[in-house]
Structure 1
Amino acid sequence: MPVIIFGGVYSGVFTATEAGAVSVFYGLLAGWIIYPVFFKTKADVALSTTIRNSAVNSAAIALLIASAALVGRMVALGGVTQQLIDFLMGITTSKYIFILVINLIFFVIGMLLETCTSIVLFTPILVPIAIAYGIDPVHFGAIMLLNLEIGLITPPFAANLFVACRMSNTTMDEIIKPLLPFYGVCLPVLLITSYFPALILWLPKATG
């Protein structure tokens, strides 16, 4: 499956989103035909259980997106974004200071919330503010994602660390020290991403 998924995405046969559907099709093909026919084995998990779990996860995501859309609509109708722009502009008109503040905000958010949740909730509010400061939306998106991903491996509420500890049967204290080299790499990359937008934007501009 990894060969099919990564090969298809990197070769341009299908997108990352379409890869999800391809993986489901391959899983059904393997579970129903390949393994029973060629290896004489059956899947341990019933199809009904898989469908039920997928439905629950999809419903949770749909509820999140619907709630975020409602919040975004309320923010737009209430003029909250413009009020935030006026407030921040009253403090500083420097986009570099704004980027520093955004880095700190998203770093903390990344420690507390899952990445997709953070993106859905905060993008509609903060992107217009970033544009008002003259920051390209693609550049802002790169800053946001990098901060959120660093936050996922930063205690005390690092979601990825809890998953890693559970899978490796280790404690949080044991896993912190091996993570230090990652911070040593990620933080300079974050600074470069934040304050050298040309490095981020050259590819989108080159491809139109």
Structure 2
Amino acid sequence: MIRYLCYTSPVWLSTEIDGIRIISGRTLDFFQRLPQEIFNIFAILSTSPGAKLFSAYMDYKYENQMAEMLLNELKSSGATNGLEEAVKQCIAAASNENDPSIQKLLLKAALFGRSFLCVNLNNPKISMRPTVTVINDLCTNVIRDLRLINNLQHINISMPLTFKQFELIGTSILIDRLLRRNLHEFATSVTKLLRMPAEEGENRILVQWAVQQ
């Protein structure tokens, strides 16, 4: 479905790394090309590992026996690390998705696939613990960052960012932007969530807060 926007007042365009912001006197819209990571999962008849894993998770969720068949196909695939690639693709799609409800589904699919990475299907004696550790770290970091990004969109903060924009500006610039809006308390919670060093986070926030008093 194509959505057309009509503005009754002047608008400003601001380019971003992954799209364009359209700013009017009352609204802020963001246009972007559908990220390839999401297309790979949701395209009709997609055969990517991530699409198969997502379908397997949804089948499992609704108690459909197709889930086992899809998982076996991934784990016994001729492609190297088919299941591992599927998990990574679901995580990548979640990080490029702006709808929290779809983010959650994609991450649940990734975690569902991760649980089957512990033992190789063809040889249960082959441990994949190094791979699982990497996947665990990736999941943890993406979930943490998405939690922050979703909170930034709250009406009390009103600082919408995509995952790619957040990666581009980094935590230091994000803290600077929050401080310019006098959001010291929220900025402090961000430093704790991201476990920033005190000199780069809480101490800097306290100094600026004290100067403004």
Which structure exhibits the higher relative contact order, with contacts defined as CA atoms closer than 8 Å and separated by 6 or more residues?
1
Q: Which has the higher helix share?
A: 1
TM-score band w.r.t. shorter chain? 0.3 to 0.5
The TM-score normalised by the length of structure 2 is 0.33
Q: By percentage of residues, which structure has more strand? A: 2
